[in-house]
Amino acid sequence: MPKTENTRNLSPFSAVYWRTAAADFRKPRMLAFAALMIAVCVALSYVPSIHLGDGGVRVTWGFLGRSVCGMVGGPVTALVFGFAEDTVSFLIHPTGAYFPGYALTTMLGTMIYALFLYRARPTVVRIFLAKLATNALNVVLGSVWSAVLYSKGYLYYMTTSLVKNVVMLPVQTAMLCFLLAALLPPLSRTGLIPGDMGNRLSLY
């Protein structure tokens, strides 16, 4: 199914939405774009994080590439991308043993960006809700994985992660808004997103 204007603003609860997402996943151009985003995420993992205060809160960069891939590729591409990106990142820069739970978190997080932003005109409110949902996912699942892998209990990790994700939410939302506002016009001109998604970023 080609990218046409009548596939914009589809509901994730509709069959057409998922048929369109599956069709996009089969496009060589979309797979090439997803591969490019994997390379971007790997490169961003080498960019030093910025620490905010002394509480362990830090700005990282990988979520930027994942959000763009989810917005452009859709939820089907996002799931495959998430698994591939987490696996490739581990193989290039391994830290301890490979743990599939982190791959699942990356897959679901990228899919959440797709559910909010794919085939829909990005707005500040949509971007905020997408980031809120991914941060909630990080708190819930990340705390589970930490409790499984390390010595302290789930509530300890959940409390620590909740504070960090709440502090980072407005910062990450602002970063995404600036990034997508800059990328929408060129993505629209190249046909990677529907043409009328390339307009100016609005509030809602």
pLDDT of res. 9: 72
Asked whether the predicted pLDDT for residue 139 surpasses 90, the reply is: yes
75, 118 contact by CB (below 8 A): yes
* For residues 37-50, average pLDDT: 92
45, 93 contact by CB (below 8 A): yes
CA distances 78 to 72, 84, 100, 129, Å, are: 9, 10, 16, 18
If one compares 43 and 2, the residue with the highest pLDDT of the two is 43
* For residues 51-73, average pLDDT: 88
65, 40 contact by CB (below 8 A): yes
Stated pTM of the model: 0.91
pLDDT of res. 51: 80
pLDDT of res. 63: 95
